[in-house]
Amino acid sequence: MFHKGFFKGILGAGVALTLATGLPAIAQETVKVGLILPMTGASASTGRQIEAAAKLFIAQNGNKVAGKTIELIVKDDQGTADMSKRLAQELVVNDKVSILGGFGLTPLALAVGPVATQAKVPAIIMAAGTSMIVDQSPFFVRTSFTLPQNTTPIAVWSAKNGIKKVVTLVSDFGPGLDAEKSFKAGFEANGGQVIEQLRAPLANPDFAAFLQKAKDLKPDAVFLFVPSGQGATLMKQVAERGLAQAGIKVIGTGDVTDDDLLNSMGDDLIGMITSHNYSTDHNSPENAAFVAAFNKANPNMRPNFMAAGGYDGMALIYKALEKTGGSTDGVKLVEAMKGLAWTSPRGPISIDPATRDIIQNVYIRKVEKKNGQLYNVEFDTIPNFKDPTHK
């Protein structure tokens, strides 16, 4: 009925308008979030946990926020920093993502920092825990945890609960060194003494020789940190060395008694005390709802602290977009994220406006059996605890 030229005219006008305003009207309705995660390799469980949690958040809250449609893009960096960096560049340049997130290990986060800074794209750290990462780009904001934050409470608790001499054993990279340093600081400030500091390689570690050395030094306790995914291997070797039989207690951060693996670690772990920012067993209505929904969507998985970081990372992105009225300007988004506070499945959390790092409760927990399953049962809380090493 209409002449061909009529449509052409409309289309032409549309294109002209688009060019004139510089705002491609349709494309702008979608906000792309690019998650860079180790989906394969040694840290694949971290990638799986964060992806599942981010998808759960979107399923529960819908993909629309402040008039925009959220599109999640997940890329596998295989746990290698070169790949994380290349994927960040591709996501920014080709996919035009407005926000980056994920980063399963400290070196992977660090590799993305310069890309985020140059592109002015917020980069949400959902896993990595070395304290200084947030200082490396003004576009980093963290929803995971830091090792000084998660370690200091067990250091203080140990000193106050009859443990006098400790050997530390950590993975030899950023978060391990943070854990080693914070343990010593917190423990010795409260009267304890660290008699030896041992470091195991991050890749394919064999802990046997280190554990034997620790045992020979006859400390009251051995403090352990390994990244998520390595706890089961480590604790198997702890059992083989007979530390418990020698009267040596085993303590650590919750990375070691990772909820993802805890059930497969066996009853030897019952009684082990750790400090951490999240337990699947955390007793709150928010967490009960989170765990039930996560289990429903992922029948063979238990949400661990990585899932909490991914879930809250998406919550942070949604809340920031609400605050900017849907603006995806990177500087505005980071400003909007500063000071945001809400109740997470892990308890109350907020983003410190001074550091862009997370402030959260840290819990002292004990491995216990409940309904035939092993859990980290929280029995003490250090409320709203900041990384004590941030200036």
Report if residue 255 touches ligand VNL, rule: CB under 6 A: yes
Among 65, 99, 100, 128, binds ligand VNL (CB under 6 A): 128
Query: Cα(369)–Cα(330) distance, rounded to whole angstroms?
Result: 46
Binding span for ligand VNL by CB under 6 A among 7-15, 114-122, 127-135, 375-383: 127-135
Phi, psi of 328 (to 5 degrees): -105, 10
Q: Is 113 in the site for ligand VNL (CB under 6 A)?
A: no
Shorter beta-carbon distance to ligand VNL: residue 167 or 202: 202
Q: Which two tokens mark 371?
A: 């309904």
Confirm or reject binding of residue 106 to ligand VNL (CB under 6 A): yes
Q: Which of 140, 72, 117, 166 is nearest to 351 (CA)?
A: 140
**Nearest-approach distance from CB 56 to ligand VNL, in angstroms:** 20
Residue 175 makes contact with ligand VNL by CB under 6 A: yes
For position 43 contacting ligand VNL by CB under 6 A, the verdict is yes
Q: Which stretch binds ligand VNL (CB under 6 A): 192-200, 224-232, 268-276, 278-286?
A: 224-232
Size of the site for ligand VNL (CB under 6 A): 15
Closest separation in Å from C-beta 173 to ligand VNL? 7
Integer angstrom CA distances of residue 113 from 81, 107, 132, 234, 379? 11, 10, 12, 31, 37
Q: CB of residue 181 vs ligand VNL: minimum separation in angstroms?
A: 14
CA proximity to 367, closest of 380, 355, 376, 354 = 376
The window from 7-15, 82-90, 104-112, 263-271 that contacts ligand VNL (CB under 6 A) reads 104-112
Give the rounded distance of the alpha carbon of 258 from its chain centre: 12
Q: Is 146 in the site for ligand VNL (CB under 6 A)?
A: no
With CB atoms as reference, the residue minimizing the distance to ligand VNL is 227
Nearer to ligand VNL, 159 or 222 (CB): 222
Which residues from 265-324 bind ligand VNL, rule CB under 6 A? none
| 3 state DSSP class of 108 | helix
Number of helical (H) and strand (E) elements in the chain, helices listed first: 11, 15
176 in Cβ contact with 146 (< 8 Å): no
Question: Which residues does residue 275 pair with via DSSP β-bridges, in sequence order?
Answer: 253, 364
Distance CA 101, CA 315 (A): 12
Q: According to the binding rule CB under 6 A, does residue 78 interact with ligand VNL? A: no
- Contact between 192 and ligand VNL per CB under 6 A: no
* Whether 103 contacts 36, CB under 8 Å: yes
Q: What's the distance, Cα to Cα, between the start and end of the chain in Å?
A: 71
Could you list the residues that contact ligand VNL (CB under 6 A)?
43, 46, 104-106, 127-130, 174-175, 227-229, 255
